[in-house]
Structure 1
Amino acid sequence: MSLNDNVLIKIREMRESFTPVERLVGDYILENTEEIPHLSIKELAQSSKTSDASVLRFCKTMGYSGYRNFIVSISASLGSRDEDSKAQYTDIQPGDDLSTIISNISLNNCKSIEDTLSVIDRKEIARAVELLRHSKRIVFFGIGASGIICMDGEQKFSRINKMCHAYTDGHSQLTAATLLEKDDVAIFISNSGATSDIIDALEIAQKNKAKCIAITKYNKSELAERADIVLSISTPEITIRSGAMGSRIAMLTIIDILFAGVASAEYDEVKTYLTKTHNILKKKLRN
């Protein structure tokens, strides 16, 4: 695991999927971050009311081979946090003036992207780009706010002549998943990773041997555990999530990365398609 990864963000995002013992360790770390780099494994175990073995298992759950590597990453994450300590997620408050709202929403969106970059696996991005490049068809699945992300993906990839479609309701998703084949790529978008319609469509897609990519919150959700490739996002810890603002921005960023990755790898061919679509739209606007 790269030292550029922010393990504190990962602990925060994975908290709800921890076992009870893992949560004891994780909560203690999040509540006492400054002292963690100075604790031995035994001291952390005693402070979190667990055991040495439990702390080591927690480190492995977070992707580290041992306690020392975990502590080094904690120290790196603390340094990163100190640099932007003033930039924290801010919830909507009653009576906020527009100036405050503009600043807070802009900050939240920027933080969603920054935190997502801390949890995303770049090797998984590379694998996803290769699958999309060689796919026969790309199909997006998402409900509600996630459906908007699907439509954005459909619009982008259609412009470079990729056969794709977005399905945003449960019935059409089941139908689309049933018709998938082994050379198709299905992209499932769900912040929680537990939306029943999405899981149902995923199960059918996998039975048809389609490759499945998940864009979801960094956790141990059913979607994350079952997909072939998982592209994780990080979302703000705020109580009001009007329009799923934080997750929407993070997911759109992932779609943009995938699109740019495919477009860059196939630039000469893609440039022709983009030019053609740009010209026809420009002509339409003049009429």
Structure 2
Amino acid sequence: MVIIMLNGGLSRLEQSLDKIKKAELNAAKYILEFPDKVIQMTVSELSEASHSSASAVIRLCKNLGFSGFQDLKIRIAGDLQNKQNNGHEYQEIHADSNIANIIETVSNNNSLSINETARILDPEKIEKAAEWLNKAKRIDFYGTGASQLVAQDAQTKFMRINKFCTAYADNHLQLTSAVTLTSDDVVVAISNSGETLQIVECVKAAKESGAKTIGLTRYGNNTLGQLVDINIEIISSESDVRSAATSSRIVQLNVIDILYVAVAGNQFDSSLNYLNRSLKAIKKSFRI
């Protein structure tokens, strides 16, 4: 028997902190500072301790996607239990960090980001997105900067199972492609912030063309997430230095892998055939 521990409460709060309304901010900050106390509190006790109103606490829970305060407390308890079990938390790299510290810190942060995201991924969204990708006549992957690398990785994977797809690096080509899509096509737009102007404009153009749209953004309200038909949210911790969007890129790649395997598994025999053919062709080219 497998016991599933619900969690992700603290992660959602942390990711959404800069966008939480002012009336709810005191409660949010109190929860993050004293999570062990909060799981023992009632709404009225939390509102009093955080100098918030009870209605603000309820709105905070709803705006973060929880069914209510009890749901939030259960997930915070899961977060605390998970932290106790694995003994790890997000860490920053400092000026005096040695190579051993860097190896441990970067690996730990990437692992935690993947695991935190896995806990909040909605299986129904993933299933629907995979269904659209499976049936699509054409797939456009949009991204800029580090997210463009993820888009290119996605193109490489889906091409190997005979999916017609593009991952143009040039924004003008992305827009040109977007306006030529049809209702039989699907867009996957990748932006950790969800506010990348070029990607938002491409998605708007794709929607006007009738294409289905899938977003891959950080958790919380953002322009891209509200614009697309399906938004797949991730959780990542970036260093203050934010060297090349490390954690977010790793998590984005992991979600692309999940979608790829879901699509390939849905058409297992043909996917295996195409994978074997592409592998054979690549091996042959290396022998020349």
Q: TM-score range by the shorter chain?
A: over 0.9
Deviates more, 1:268-277 or 1:12-21: 12-21
TM-score (norm 2): 0.95
Q: Within the alignment, does 1:9 sit opposite 2:11 as a pair? A: yes
TM-score (norm 1): 0.95
1:148 Cα offset (Å): 0.2
C-alpha distance in 1 between matches for 2:145 and 2:271 = 30
C-alpha distance in 1 between matches for 2:75 and 2:117 = 17
Q: Within the alignment, does 1:72 sit opposite 2:69 as a pair? A: no
Match of 1:109 in 2: 110
Matched position secondary structure for 1:179: coil
1:146-178 deviation digits (Å, cap 9, x = unpaired): 000000000000000000000223222211111
1:92 Cα offset (Å): 2.5
Match of 2:259 in 1: 258
C-alpha distance in 1 between matches for 2:10 and 2:122 = 16
1:118 Cα offset (Å): 2.2
Match of 2:36 in 1: 34
Deviates more, 1:26-35 or 1:62-71: 62-71
C-alpha distance in 1 between matches for 2:92 and 2:34 = 23
Deviates more, 1:220-229 or 1:106-115: 106-115
Match of 1:278 in 2: 279
1:105 Cα offset (Å): 1.6
Unaligned runs of 5+ in 1: none
C-alpha distance in 2 between matches for 1:235 and 1:48 = 27
C-alpha distance in 2 between matches for 1:227 and 1:233 = 15
Unaligned runs of 5+ in 2: none
Q: Within the alignment, does 1:192 sit opposite 2:197 as a pair? A: no
Match of 1:126 in 2: 127
C-alpha distance in 2 between matches for 1:40 and 1:100 = 41
**Equivalent residue for 1:46, pick from 28, 45, 48:** 48
Match of 2:213 in 1: 212
Matching residue's letter, 2:10: L
1:3 Cα offset (Å): 5.4
> CA, structure 1 residues 237+82, in 2 after alignment: closer, same or farther (shift >3 Å)?
farther
Matched position secondary structure for 1:123: helix
C-alpha distance in 2 between matches for 1:69 and 1:108 = 26
Match of 2:246 in 1: 245
Alpha-carbon RMSD across the aligned residues, in angstroms, is 1.4
Matching residue's letter, 1:199: V
1:237 Cα offset (Å): 4.7
Matched position secondary structure for 1:188: strand
Q: Which runs of at least 4 in structure 1 moved beyond 3 Å after TM superposition?
A: none
C-alpha distance in 1 between matches for 2:38 and 2:61 = 13
1:76 Cα offset (Å): 2.2
Match of 2:234 in 1: 233
Matched position secondary structure for 1:38: coil
Match of 2:161 in 1: 160
C-alpha distance in 2 between matches for 1:196 and 1:73 = 34
Matched position secondary structure for 1:242: coil
Q: Within the alignment, does 1:55 sit opposite 2:87 as a pair? A: no
Match of 1:181 in 2: 182
> CA, structure 1 residues 237+286, in 2 after alignment: closer, same or farther (shift >3 Å)?
closer
